[in-house]
Amino acid sequence: PLVAKDFDWRVRHLLAAVRASGGRSKVREALVMIATYTAQKERDGVKNWPAYLLTLLKKFDPEAAASDTKGRSGKGGGKGGGKG
């Protein structure tokens, strides 16, 4: 049930961090894990697919997730960037 738009910039960025920490084979393992978990889900059963994929990847490789978060600290303003 996955579509290209499910792999938003956050998911792609975390996959890049996974690759940096473990190489292509680690990315392949991550994608196999994603395919396994998402095959059991209905498209309508997940409200936010990119967030779901991000959660799966963070559980798969917590170290890459931590380094990804550390690398982005200080950038952007997060939700609600001050306009209002």
Give pLDDT tens digits for 5-23. 999 999 999 999 999 999 9
- State the Cα angle at 7 between 71 and 47, rounded to 5°: 110
Residues contacting residue 34 through CB under 8 Å, at least 6 positions apart:
2, 53, 56, 57
The token pair at 65 is 């997730």
pLDDT one digit per residue (tens) for the chain, 84 residues? 799 999 999 999 999 999 999 999 999 999 999 999 999 999 999 999 999 999 999 999 999 888 877 766 555 545 555 555
pTM equals 0.80
State which amino acid sits at residue 29. E
pLDDT at 68: 77
User: DSSP code of 79?
Assistant: T
Helix axes 9-39, 62-72, angle to 10 degrees: 160
